[in-house]
Amino acid sequence: MEIWKKVLGLEEFYEVSNLGNVRSLERDGVTNYGKRKYGGNNLKSFIALSGYPSINLTKKGFRKQYLLHRLVLEAFIGKCPDGMEGCHNDGNRTNCKLDNLRWDTRSNNALDKRNHATWQAGQNNGNSKLTNLQAKEIRESKLSCKKLAKMYKVGATTISRIKNKQAYINVY
């Protein structure tokens, strides 16, 4: 069952649901041509550059982008406590349903990312030049860093960091 609550700070204009939907409230307005109705629509979220579902909300001509999971948490749980951030229980950042969200510490959020394999390390990093399998081969190899660097077309420092478990630390 979908439950709606007012968006904190924008109570007169918007509501958010426990399923992660946002709608504008119908309200009266005045224009140069007379009175008219505003709002009353379901709004469409989008995936921001951060990879999180976001939504643009407007108040008196000023538009601001909001993270959808934060709107849900603030409406149903309350303001974000100091030192906390919004976390997704299943590791899926597009799942903004209330039962999948919680306020938690940054370190617990980082642990979640490791447990859900969504951590941007190793081959999951967009700038990675090596796969996790290659990193494992490097770590197990008896060849020198220089030879390995030439073989894998990376710097000797990168090879050294992999061998010393300073890079690709999640590879065993």
pLDDT score of 127: 65
Give the Cα separation of 166 and 172 in Å (integer).
Answer: 13
pLDDT on residue 118:
67
pLDDT at 165: 85
| Nearest-angstrom CA–CA distance, 64 and 55 | 8
DSSP 98: G
**pLDDT of amino acid 171:** 66
* Predicted local distance difference test score (pLDDT) of residue 144: 92
- Residue 20: Cβ-neighbour burial (10 angstroms; 0-12, 13-18, 19+): buried
d(CA 18, CA 26): 20
What ranges do the domains of the chain cover? 4-115, 122-163
> Beta strands of 89-151 (E only): which ranges?
101-105
Q: Name, in order, each residue with C-beta under 8 angstroms of 104's C-beta and a sequence gap of 6 or more.
A: 84, 85, 87, 112
pLDDT tens string, the chain, 172 residues long: the values are 999 999 999 999 999 999 999 999 998 888 889 998 888 899 999 999 888 999 999 988 899 999 999 999 999 999 999 999 999 998 888 999 999 999 999 888 888 877 776 656 666 665 678 888 888 899 899 999 999 999 999 999 989 988 988 887 766 6
Quote the pLDDT of residue 51. 84
Q: Is 50 in a helix, a strand, or coil? A: coil
The correct CATH number of 4-115 out of 3.40.50.300, 2.30.110.10, 3.90.75.20, 3.30.530.20 is: 3.90.75.20
**Beta bridge partner(s), residue 36:** 29
Range list of H helices, 24-105:
68-76
